[in-house]
Chain A
Amino acid sequence: QKEVEQNSGPLSVPEGAIASLNCTYSDRGSQSFFWYRQYSGKSPELIMFIYSNGDKEDGRFTAQLNKASQYVSLLIRDSQPSDSATYLCAVKGTNAGKSTFGDGTTLTVKP
């Protein structure tokens, strides 16, 4: 079992729809959870982080964390073509010095 698994893509949604990206992790001691966006040919950039169970909203983005189910998700409301990118889930486990990344989910938002 991979330490961090993301739903396999690619994911395609129409403009204006809600995109839902999912991530599960295996280390129950994990403390911090991150979503990075990576445009093709570019480096990753942080868009959301969450530490506590529940929802965290930032503009059109909502991160959801359920530690009991070891599950974290990212919702993108009113999806735009500019949201088309690969989204990487990262988890910081019991070793505070490093994070483990999932393989990413590629999202395409069609106009």
Chain B
Amino acid sequence: NAGVTQTPKFRILKIGQSMTLQCAQDMNHNYMYWYRQDPGMGLKLIYYSVGAGITDKGEVPNGYNVSRSTTEDFPLRLELAAPSQTSVYFCASRTSGGAVDTQYFGPGTRLTVL
């Protein structure tokens, strides 16, 4: 299993550009998450999904959109990029059952907006 994969690893955007961060998991997990991590800070939840077709806002959803058309994929869309969106973005997934409520994280996407 590849686990949680994210593309791209790095990206530089100009102010006002748009892009989609890709996230995929092959563990058949129902729950998927997008976080951002600013330098020296913890993880802030952007959006999450409890299954295909169901998404909900987290703490910091402004400037982002998501969709979940399949169990495997959970892309994050940035519209009109701003310098405040410079951050490292992590995608995570977890199963909805089981004894351990572990979130498995992807390797992250480092985004810079200039």
Interface size on A, residues (CB 8 A): 21
Main secondary structure of the interface of A (DSSP, over half): strand
A88–B103 alpha-carbon span in the complex (Å) = 13
Interface size on B, residues (CB 8 A): 23
Which residue on B lies nearest to A34, using beta carbons?
B101
A102–B107 alpha-carbon span in the complex (Å) = 20
A31–B78 alpha-carbon span in the complex (Å) = 33
A27–B94 alpha-carbon span in the complex (Å) = 22
Known: A97-B50, A98-B33, A98-B58. A44 touches B102 (CB 8 A): no
Which residues of B10-59 are within 8 A (CB) of A?
A: 31, 33, 35, 40-45, 48, 50, 56, 58-59
A-B contact sample (7 more), CB < 8 A, given A49-B101, A101-B44: A6-B42, A32-B101, A43-B105, A43-B107, A100-B45, A101-B35, A104-B41
Chain B residues with CB under 8 Å of chain A are 31, 33, 35, 40-45, 48, 50, 56, 58-59, 90, 100-103, 105-108
